[in-house]
Amino acid sequence: MSAYEVDLFVIGGGSGGVRAARIAAGYGAKVMLAEEYRMGGTCVIRGCVPKKLYVLASRFADGFEDAPGFGWTVDAPKFDFSVLKAAKDKEIDRLEGVYAQNLAKAGVEIIPQRAVVSGPNEVTLADGRTVSAKTILIATGGHPVRPEATPGIHLAENSNDFFDWPTLPKSVVVVGAGYIGVEFACLLNRLGSHVTLILRRDHVLPRFDEDLRKGLTEAMKLAGITILNHTDVEMLDGRPGHVAVTTLTGRCIEAERVVYATGRKPNTKGLGLEKIGVLLDQEGGIIVDGFSQTNVPSVYAVGDVTNRLQLTPVAIREGHAFADSVFGGRPTQVDFGLAPTAVFSTPEIGTVGLTEEEARKTHPIEIYKTSFRAMKATLSGSQERVMMKLIVDKSTNRVLGVHILGEGAGEMIQMVGIAVRMGATKRDFDQTLAVHPTAAEELVTMRTPWVAPSV
């Protein structure tokens, strides 16, 4: 009989923690999981899922606008934000229940309270109870941050607050131009808010391919979003519902709400990790090896709390790999290279592999790219453009990166990601028959390398 009450104690009921708990239980481990808020974590409760529902709602605006070009007569559409929010909340409640049910079916005991690490093999619950565990997994995710030193910052909100808004504001200032910033700006704009996006750089989405960044920036401007670049917020003033935002360049914007989307940090504060000697990085992220193990052998960590690659599918894969390694007898490391990802802006982005800037530093490359109006736009009159780009190693013909801007980019890149991971060459793309008429056929019909225009 084991000297421990459980084989595995998981702290955190988000994507990574839940997957790890379920798989470990499937291998016969006795598992407990503590979650102090709601099952599902950031992704399900206040991240990917509610965001995507709002994005889908916002795109009906384009459908109504495009319809007359195809012969439809549409009465002036009306939008009720409260109906959308209620439907979103209902779906989130359903998903939270599914997460709990799946854990219970797997035999995992759920503890609905806060838990902290009180020893290398001990966890203390909020009610004072202690649980001994052979292995402890930290999967507490992260939280949004904002510059607390900015005068008037208490008037600003973050991405968590956004999903609790009861009504749609007429005007919003979004600060930050990463995934969350551009997604919020695009969906709010199409739902009917006047949106101003403030960013410190020239284009949105730093670290993405430059053509994607430029293309999305122009599309957002075309949609009516005001973009203030090369600046930041100097101060906020006013009161909730009437906020004045002053930028470093002296611009003043008045808005009902201000949302900061300027990054996230790991949830490690107050977990007791320092007490047992678990090493953290400068951002508070838990330092782990390739098997998600910390410097304390009995303690592991997965997901955003490790500050590696902050994406839900990555947390899920890490959680599964952890369970395979520790409880399944199948040592597994997660390969973070060639991770496909999507940004659910409108138009959306799908990307995998190296950017052009990255590839030029390490490979002799050829660029294949195209920009065109989608077939729908020929009748709707929309000026929005699709952009596709392939980055190819000249010496091996291998496709190093694929970058797509346009409708369905997220769906396309999931499939393309498989080919790129398998080492597909440009010749493989060329020999694949096109599906016509589709936008995606452009990925297999680009034949001539792009040459930069002479200055």
Spatial CB neighbours of 408, under 8 Å, sequence gap ≥ 6: 348, 439, 440
pLDDT of residue 277: 96
Q: How far apart are CA 48 and CA 220, in angstroms?
A: 21
CB 17, CB 33: distance < 8 Å: yes
pLDDT of residue 225: 98
Q: Which neighbouring-strand residues pair with 385? A: 373
Alpha helices in 167-291 (DSSP H): 179-191, 210-222
The domains spanning 6-144+265-327 and 153-262 adopt the same CATH topology: yes
Q: Which CATH number fits domain 6-144+265-327: 3.10.350.10, 3.40.50.1970, 3.50.50.60, 3.40.50.2300?
A: 3.50.50.60
CATH superfamily of 341-444: FAD/NAD-linked reductase, C-terminal dimerisation domain (3.30.390.30)
Residue 234 dihedral angles phi and psi, to the nearest 5°:
-90, -40
The DSSP annotation for 138-183 comes to E---EEE---TTSTTGGG-B-HHHHTT-SS--SEEEEE--SHHHHH
> How long, in residues, is the chain?
455
Catalytic option among 230, 242, 403, 436 = 436
- Cα separations (Å) of 425 from 118, 280, 415, 444, 450? 52, 40, 15, 11, 17
Q: How far apart are CA 69 and CA 331, in angstroms?
A: 57
Per DSSP, the three-state class of 11 is: strand
- Cα separations (Å) of 111 from 125, 126, 217? 9, 10, 45
pLDDT of residue 150: 96
pLDDT tens, residue by residue, 332-354:
999 888 999 999 999 999 999 99
Please state whether the peptide bond connecting residue 297 to the residue before it is cis, i.e. omega within 30 degrees of 0. no
Q: How far apart are CA 83 and CA 221, in angstroms?
A: 28
Residue 62 dihedral angles phi and psi, to the nearest 5°:
-65, -40
Per DSSP, the three-state class of 35 is: coil
Q: Which neighbouring-strand residues pair with 353? A: 401
pLDDT of residue 1: 46
Q: How far apart are CA 336 and CA 200, in angstroms?
A: 28
Amino acid at position 141, single letter: G
Q: What share of the chain is helix, strand, coil (3-state, %, to 5)?
A: 35, 25, 40
pLDDT of residue 248: 96
The DSSP call for residue 108 is P
pLDDT tens, residue by residue, 289-340:
999 999 999 999 999 999 888 888 899 999 999 999 999 999 999 988 899 9
Amino acid at position 271, single letter: L
Residue 280 dihedral angles phi and psi, to the nearest 5°:
-120, 155
Please indicate whether residue 436 is annotated as part of the active site. yes
pLDDT of residue 428: 98
Q: How far apart are CA 328 and CA 115, in angstroms?
A: 26
Q: How far apart are CA 175 and CA 259, in angstroms?
A: 6
CB 38, CB 96: distance < 8 Å: yes
Q: How far apart are CA 276 and CA 117, in angstroms?
A: 8
Q: How far apart are CA 142 and CA 377, in angstroms?
A: 40
Per DSSP, the three-state class of 107 is: coil
CB 354, CB 346: distance < 8 Å: no
- Cα separations (Å) of 378 from 39, 60, 159, 409, 437? 45, 19, 36, 19, 13
CB 153, CB 238: distance < 8 Å: no
Name the residue among 140, 116, 136, 110 with its Cα closest to residue 128: 116
Token pair, residue 287, equals: 């330092």
* Residue numbers in the chain where pLDDT is lower than 50: 1, 455
CB 342, CB 354: distance < 8 Å: no
Name the residue among 399, 393, 391 with its Cα closest to residue 422: 399
Token pair, residue 6, equals: 């459980």
Domain range annotation of the chain: 6-144+265-327, 153-262, 341-444
Q: What fold is seen in the domain 153-262?
A: FAD/NAD(P)-binding domain (3.50.50)
